[in-house]
Amino acid sequence: MHSRNSNTQSIDWVSIVLYLLLVGFGWVNIYAANTEADSPVFWIANKEYVKQLIWIGFSLLTVGILLLIDSKFYVEFAYPSYILGILLLLAVLIVGVEVNGAKSWFQLGAFRFQPVELAKVATALTLARVLSRFQFSFTSWQDLLLLGSVWLLPAIILVLQNDLGSGLVFMAFLLPFYRQGMSPYVLVLGLLAALIFVLTLLLPNYSILLLMAGTFFAILLFHKYRKETLMALGAAAGVYGLMALLMQVNSGAVNHDLALLSGMGLASLGLGFKALLRRLPTVGIYLLLFWSSVGFAYSADYFYENMLGEYQRSRILVLLNLKNDPQGAGYNVNQSKIAIGSGGFSGKGFLQGTQTKFNFVPEQSTDFIFCTVGEEWGFLGTTSVILLFLFLLMRLTYLAERQHSAFSRIYGYGVAAIFFFHLAVNVGMTIGLAPVIGIPLPFFSYGGSSLWGFSILLFIFLKLDTNRGQVLR
Amino acid sequence: MGNSNRAIIINIAFVLIGLIYIVRLFVLQVVDPSYKFYAESNTQRQLTQYPSRGLIYDRNGKLLVANQPVYDLMIVPREVTPFDTLAFSQALGLPHDQVRELFAEVRNNLRSRKISSFKPSVFYKQLSAEQYAVLQEQLYLFKGFFAQRRTVRKYEYPLAAHVFGYVAETNENHLKNDAYYSLGDYTGISGIERTYETFLRGEKGARYILVDVHGREKGPMRGGRLDTAAVAGKDVTLTLDIDLQAYGELLMQNKSGSVVAIEPSTGEILSLVSSPGYDPALLVGRERSRNFPALVTDSLSPLLNRAIMSGYPPGSTFKTVMALIAMQEGVLRSNTTHVCNNGFYARGVHVGCHPHRSPLSLVPSLANSCNAYYCYAFRDVLDNPALGSPKEGLDHWSNYLHNFGFGQRLGSDFFNENPGFVPNSEYFNRLYRGSWGSLTVISLSIGQGELLTTPIQMANMTAAIANRGWYHTPHVVKAIENDTIPSRFKERHNTGIDSIHFEPVIEGMEQAILGEIGGTARLARIPGIDICGKTGTAQNPHGEDHSIFVAFAPKDDPKIAIAVYVENAGFGSSWAAPIASLMIEKYLTENIHPSRHWLEQRMLNANFIDAQQE
């Protein structure tokens, strides 16, 4: 076991080696995606691999400096950095430039920077600070309000920037929340919401309503409320039948949504009354759950139909396999799967990729860099990358668990969660398992601010880890 | 709180997602082969390397048909930048209006998506090397244009167009029936270009290149290791003697008709003339679209290969075969005599004849071309008491004719041979409802009536006589580079006539020319050469009779057998015979004897085409 007597322990070389391996292999793939067979000149200043090399150098310099700064600074720096981050995000909303439809970049001459990368670091630090407050509780409304605001404010600004992908990254923080004691039912509810959302796309609203009503009655039966269930079922069916008949006679068309809602409304009133009278809290909870699901389903449907852009709608449909459109919205994923699939077991070899090099795969050195890995290095390469990331993630949770300071632990989980989310979504989208939302693969994707941001994120934690014996807060 | 359990759960979640992705990647990359296929069709493009067609030589190794480069001007619309269209049309050597139309066409094709903006398509086909030389100097001014080299035929002589045939772009049928072809390929449409297409066309090569998502070339695939070079077509050597061919076409100028000369011992066609002909260069490349309609609509049908496609009655030249059949059937002997009283009279049937001594035996009857003699011989064949009926006799007769190659395609190298026509008993049963006899069909005996033969069949008959009973299928291919010619040309076909019967016939043909006992073809006499021939005149219901002559020489060890048809020229002795003899003389001695220069001049000056049209 490590000595806990001295104030500073040695830095975790395992993580640094993993970091260097990932960055190095990432650069090799950017080089492959960006090089041209008929141009033997290496040093061309506007080539992405040259720029990335400069960014790698700059990142190494930065993390070197980060390691020299006292750990306590990061604790104190949390709130100011958060305020700075929010200000930058707001500023970019006003003076930023638009790239690929998202207004999330600062442009200074040839130099472009995405403040969201800093905002992630700041938010991770601040959430760690909030969660590590003395006597923080997930049952305190005040605490939850503070936590929720800190958590969601940057995400909302990002959505306003039309950078949905980066906004979704903040979902990752649910992981440290869970680690810190948030009820797992929040995650279950999240999954339920996702399920209902998918169902609203698949089925007409009234059939989802029917499904939910059926589930609701089934659960009641399961809890042995036989008499109540039958009564409510009868009332609901009666009202539905009556209304359907009236509408049929009146206008010749039946609004099933309205008829069902009315039926369920009457049944719920009865059930609610009975629950109050007989003090049956379970029935009350299920009633609440049922009606919030109904509310969610209708608002999700409204959100999908009226708030999402056409391209976002079709991307969702393609992802869910509801729409086959290889030349349209599915083009990216289709080409990306072709590139990865054509790599075979051991790949076509370094610089031998054809799909990625000749622009078949869009964004081949940024969001779809994993295609180059898949095409040139094959199954061996892709598996190695995933395993390297898994090692890093498990190493980070291991490191986090050995922190004496809650701040350091929570921050460590935040870092791991962000990496995990990026990995899962980025790799997932290239192999058709996740929606195409443009977020980079950490250390791999071309782009200075993301490499720089991920490096800072990681190395602040590695610095905190050197003081793991101390209770920083 | 049990939070360390949660750490484990979180790690399990990491590993679970990792495993799901690895399994998915295994399926994508290792299990499912379809992505490899898609990837290939995404990036590889096969460019055709066109082979040059095989060359064509004459029997003496003289180059007849070669290739010349032409240049297709290609356009990649996307890469075109604004330029001076006037300078462009001057460089192309085309009127400005036409260039504008070409651009309008490109725009239309782009709009209707017939062509791609990223890929090269043909802007202007088949610029000649001269045109290209002018354009090439300025091509750098016009971005998005480049020239692609193709080869088309180049003819060293303006001769033998009917033998060569022509080459043109493939049509839908070619594409459907032969996987070799793709759109824009050339193929032989007629003549030996068609017959020996599979040898002449060579093997296309392929260059594999990598293209990007827009179809732009990005360099060779795997460093060009998969590329295959085009293999040039095999050279074909013909049996034609181009000098004899040239002489034949010269003699036949201003005449319609044809000349077919065969080497009897091999069946090799030495010369095949169909007149009027045309310069084969008229049907090369861009020229063809301009000239082809004119050739098709010409009332003299220059595209028609009369030597193999025109069926005429053989006329008196047929008497040679008639005599042979009668002798083989045992109803005629060389010393058999028949009386001719200006013709043949029997039961109201009269076949006229010209004045000559009478009675005659076989040899003088051939030399004098007595009609009556062959009417008797034919009647004896049909009414042969050894046979059941004239019908059976006629079928015997028609069998012999088939043995000589009549009434069927000979199977030469030409795909569009006319089989001609030889009637049999079935045919006459249908025609006369069963009631006919030897006298009904008596005109067959002198090569008239229903009988139709082509010049090549007549030349073949002459070769069979020269060989005393057998022939090789006439053909124009002598050798194919690194390959063998079709084996059917090596087969010997027997006529079924014993060689002994040929001697009196050949003597009669010799006498026809020597004229010692009267002869119809004395103009064909060549000093120092023992030539045998037979005149003929084919009745032509549409105008002046056709002049026919068949001959071979020398009498012993014949080197050449020939059939000459001159349409609308009258008697065989006046025109066809001199032309045939001049051809023979030219072939055997390479020169025309001074005593015959007047005759040559007369043949060259003769014009039956203008006379016919007046």
Taking contacts as CB-CB distances below 8 angstroms, the residues of chain A near B219 are 37-38
Looking at residue A5, its pLDDT comes to 45
Using the predicted structure, report yes or no on whether residue B260 has a pLDDT greater than 90: yes
Instruction: Decide which of B462 and B131 is more confident.
Output: B462
Confidence of residue A3 (pLDDT cuts 50, 70, 90): very low
Q: Does A182 reach chain B within 8 Å, measured CB to CB?
A: no
Asked if residue B509 is part of any domain, the answer here is yes
The Cβ of residue B150 has, within 10 Å, a number of other Cβ atoms equal to: 18
C-beta separation of B542 from B565 below 8 A:
no
Q: Mutate which of B15, B24, B35, B37 to test chain A, going by most A C-beta atoms within 10 A?
A: B35
Q: Give residues with Cβ within 8 angstroms of B415, minimum separation 6.
A: B190, B194, B195
Looking at residue A4, its pLDDT comes to 45
Q: How far is A182 from chain B (nearest CA, A)?
A: 10
Please name the member of A37, A181, A386 whose beta carbon is closest to the beta carbon of B22. A386
Q: Does A386 reach chain B within 8 Å, measured CB to CB?
A: yes
Using the predicted structure, report yes or no on whether residue B58 has a pLDDT greater than 50: yes
Q: Mutate which of B6, B29, B40, B212 to test chain A, going by most A C-beta atoms within 10 A?
A: B29
Instruction: Decide which of B570 and A121 is more confident.
Output: A121
The mean-pLDDT minimum among A38-42, A98-102, B164-168, B494-498 falls in A38-42
A226, A237, A426, B258, B414 from A230: Cα distances, Å: 6, 10, 49, 107, 94
C-beta separation of A436 from A336 below 8 A:
no
Q: Do residue A390 and residue B15 have CB atoms under 8 angstroms apart?
A: yes
Torsion of CA A404, A407, A408, A410, to 10 degrees: 110
Q: Are residues B551 and B458 in the same domain?
A: yes
Taking contacts as CB-CB distances below 8 angstroms, the residues of chain B near A382 are 22, 25, 29
Nearest CA in chain B to A429: B21
Q: Does A393 reach chain B within 8 Å, measured CB to CB?
A: yes
Q: Are residues B251 and B230 in the same domain?
A: no
The Cβ of residue A295 has, within 10 Å, a number of other Cβ atoms equal to: 10
Q: Are residues B162 and B136 in the same domain?
A: no
Q: Is B264 helix (H, G, I), strand (E, B) or coil?
A: coil
Q: Are residues B219 and B271 in the same domain?
A: no
As a whole number of angstroms, the distance between CA A264 and CA A240 comes to 8
Q: Which amino acid is at A173?
A: F
- What backbone torsions phi and psi does residue B85 show, to the nearest 5 degrees? -70, -30
Q: Does B211 reach chain A within 8 Å, measured CB to CB?
A: yes
Q: Does B218 reach chain A within 8 Å, measured CB to CB?
A: yes
Taking contacts as CB-CB distances below 8 angstroms, the residues of chain B near A344 are 29-30, 36
A422, B80, B260, B506, B581 from B525: Cα distances, Å: 104, 72, 19, 15, 7
Looking at residue A324, its pLDDT comes to 53
Which of B151, B177, B200 is the C-terminal boundary of a domain?
B151
Asked if residue B291 is part of any domain, the answer here is no
Q: Does B179 reach chain A within 8 Å, measured CB to CB?
A: no
Rounded average pLDDT over B547-554: 92
Q: Do residue A358 and residue B4 have CB atoms under 8 angstroms apart?
A: no
Looking at residue A2, its pLDDT comes to 44
- What backbone torsions phi and psi does residue B310 show, to the nearest 5 degrees? -95, 125
Q: Are residues B427 and B557 in the same domain?
A: yes
Taking contacts as CB-CB distances below 8 angstroms, the residues of chain B near A178 are 6, 10
Confidence of residue B344 (pLDDT cuts 50, 70, 90): confident
As a whole number of angstroms, the distance between CA B467 and CA B558 comes to 8
Burial of A257 (0-12, 13-18, 19+ CB in 10 A): middle
Taking contacts as CB-CB distances below 8 angstroms, the residues of chain A near B213 are 358-360
As a whole number of angstroms, the distance between CA B153 and CA B70 comes to 10
Query: Among residues B466, B470, B458, B157, which one has the least CA distance to residue B308?
Result: B458
Q: How far is A371 from chain B (nearest CA, A)?
A: 11
Taking contacts as CB-CB distances below 8 angstroms, the residues of chain B near A354 are 39, 42-44, 210
As a whole number of angstroms, the distance between CA A344 and CA A349 comes to 11
Q: Give residues with Cβ within 8 angstroms of B101, minimum separation 6.
A: none
Nearest CA in chain A to B28: A341
Q: Does A397 reach chain B within 8 Å, measured CB to CB?
A: yes
Which of B126, B151, B176 is the C-terminal boundary of a domain?
B151
Summarised one tens digit per residue, pLDDT across range B474-527 is 999 999 999 988 889 999 999 999 999 999 999 999 988 887 666 677 788 888
The mean-pLDDT minimum among A256-265, A305-314, B302-311, B343-352 falls in A305-314
Q: Does A384 reach chain B within 8 Å, measured CB to CB?
A: no
Taking contacts as CB-CB distances below 8 angstroms, the residues of chain B near A138 are none
Taking contacts as CB-CB distances below 8 angstroms, the residues of chain B near A181 are 1, 3
Confidence of residue A422 (pLDDT cuts 50, 70, 90): very high
Asked if residue B6 is part of any domain, the answer here is no
Looking at residue A454, its pLDDT comes to 95
As a whole number of angstroms, the distance between CA B397 and CA B593 comes to 41
Looking at residue B614, its pLDDT comes to 47
Confidence of residue B214 (pLDDT cuts 50, 70, 90): low
Looking at residue A36, its pLDDT comes to 62
Q: Are residues B108 and B221 in the same domain?
A: no
Q: Does B5 reach chain A within 8 Å, measured CB to CB?
A: no
Q: Are residues B215 and B92 in the same domain?
A: no
C-beta separation of A388 from A7 below 8 A:
no
Looking at residue B165, its pLDDT comes to 92
Instruction: Round to the nearest angstrom and report the end-to-end CA distance of chain A.
Output: 23
Instruction: Decide which of B295 and B434 is more confident.
Output: B295
Looking at residue A81, its pLDDT comes to 94
Q: Are residues B249 and B224 in the same domain?
A: no
Looking at residue A7, its pLDDT comes to 62
How big is chain A, counted in residues? 473
DSSP B73-110: EEE-GGG-----HHHHHHHHTS-HHHHHHHHHHHHHHH
Asked if residue B310 is part of any domain, the answer here is yes
Using the predicted structure, report yes or no on whether residue A372 has a pLDDT greater than 50: yes
Using the predicted structure, report yes or no on whether residue A434 has a pLDDT greater than 70: yes
Looking at residue A1, its pLDDT comes to 39
Using the predicted structure, report yes or no on whether residue B290 has a pLDDT greater than 90: no
Rounded average pLDDT over B538-567: 89
Looking at residue A366, its pLDDT comes to 84
C-beta separation of A376 from A343 below 8 A:
yes
Instruction: Decide which of A13 and A356 is more confident.
Output: A13
Rounded average pLDDT over A130-150: 88
Asked if residue B595 is part of any domain, the answer here is yes
In chain A, % of residues over pLDDT 70 = 90
Q: Does B225 reach chain A within 8 Å, measured CB to CB?
A: no
Q: How far is B39 from chain A (nearest CA, A)?
A: 6
Averaging pLDDT over each range in A293-302, B6-15, B38-47, B285-294, which range is the top one? B6-15
CB pairs under 8 A between A and B: 116
Q: What is the mean pLDDT of chain B?
A: 87
Residue B126 lies in domain: 69-77+86-151
Please name the member of A178, A386, A433 whose beta carbon is closest to the beta carbon of B18. A386
Q: Does A339 reach chain B within 8 Å, measured CB to CB?
A: yes
Using the predicted structure, report yes or no on whether residue B222 has a pLDDT greater than 70: no
Asked if residue B411 is part of any domain, the answer here is yes
As a whole number of angstroms, the distance between CA B213 and CA B43 comes to 8
Instruction: Decide which of B215 and A438 is more confident.
Output: A438
Alpha helix (H) ranges present in A69-140?
71-95, 116-131
Q: Does A156 reach chain B within 8 Å, measured CB to CB?
A: no
Looking at residue B355, its pLDDT comes to 82
Using the predicted structure, report yes or no on whether residue A315 has a pLDDT greater than 80: no
Looking at residue A321, its pLDDT comes to 54
Q: Are residues B266 and B182 in the same domain?
A: no
Taking contacts as CB-CB distances below 8 angstroms, the residues of chain B near A413 are 10
Averaging pLDDT over each range in A19-28, A353-362, B109-118, B439-448, which range is the top one? A19-28
Q: Does A311 reach chain B within 8 Å, measured CB to CB?
A: no
Q: Parallel, antiparallel, or unpaired for β B56-57 and B236-238?
A: parallel
Q: Do residue B11 and residue A342 have CB atoms under 8 angstroms apart?
A: no
As a whole number of angstroms, the distance between CA B332 and CA B323 comes to 8
* Structure token pair of residue B280: 């084969």
Q: Are residues B470 and B548 in the same domain?
A: yes
Q: Does A408 reach chain B within 8 Å, measured CB to CB?
A: no
Q: How far is B208 from chain A (nearest CA, A)?
A: 13
A49, A51, A53, A110, A114 from A46: Cα distances, Å: 9, 7, 12, 10, 19
Please name the member of B3, B30, B35 whose beta carbon is closest to the beta carbon of A181. B3
Using the predicted structure, report yes or no on whether residue B273 has a pLDDT greater than 60: yes
Looking at residue B44, its pLDDT comes to 64
Q: Are residues B130 and B161 in the same domain?
A: no
Averaging pLDDT over each range in A270-274, A382-386, B564-568, B594-598, which range is the top one? A382-386
The mean-pLDDT minimum among A55-64, A203-212, B242-251 falls in A203-212
Q: How far is A356 from chain B (nearest CA, A)?
A: 9
Nearest CA in chain B to A38: B219
Which of B118, B133, B151 is the C-terminal boundary of a domain?
B151
As a whole number of angstroms, the distance between CA A341 and CA B25 comes to 8
CATH number for position B494: 3.40.710.10
Confidence of residue B583 (pLDDT cuts 50, 70, 90): very high
Number of domains comprising chain B: 3
Confidence of residue A329 (pLDDT cuts 50, 70, 90): low
Confidence of residue A320 (pLDDT cuts 50, 70, 90): low
Q: Mutate which of B15, B16, B21 to test chain A, going by most A C-beta atoms within 10 A?
A: B21
Using the predicted structure, report yes or no on whether residue B105 has a pLDDT greater than 50: yes
In chain B, % of residues over pLDDT 70 = 95
What b/e sequence results for B156-191 when a residue is b if at least 16 CB atoms lie within 10 Å of its CB, and e otherwise? bbebbbbbbbbbbebeeebeeeeeebeeebbbbbbb
As a whole number of angstroms, the distance between CA A249 and CA A243 comes to 10
Using the predicted structure, report yes or no on whether residue A386 has a pLDDT greater than 90: yes
The mean-pLDDT minimum among A379-393, B132-146, B256-270, B548-562 falls in B132-146
Using the predicted structure, report yes or no on whether residue B2 has a pLDDT greater than 60: no
Using the predicted structure, report yes or no on whether residue A322 has a pLDDT greater than 60: no
ipTM: 0.84
In chain B, % of residues over pLDDT 90 = 44
As a whole number of angstroms, the distance between CA A363 and CA B413 comes to 62
Looking at residue B26, its pLDDT comes to 92
Using the predicted structure, report yes or no on whether residue A365 has a pLDDT greater than 60: yes
Q: Do residue B42 and residue A338 have CB atoms under 8 angstroms apart?
A: yes
Please name the member of A354, A382, A393 whose beta carbon is closest to the beta carbon of B39. A354
Q: Does A161 reach chain B within 8 Å, measured CB to CB?
A: no
Q: Are residues B135 and B195 in the same domain?
A: no
Q: Does B16 reach chain A within 8 Å, measured CB to CB?
A: no
CATH number for position B210: 3.90.1310.10
Taking contacts as CB-CB distances below 8 angstroms, the residues of chain A near B38 are 338, 341-342
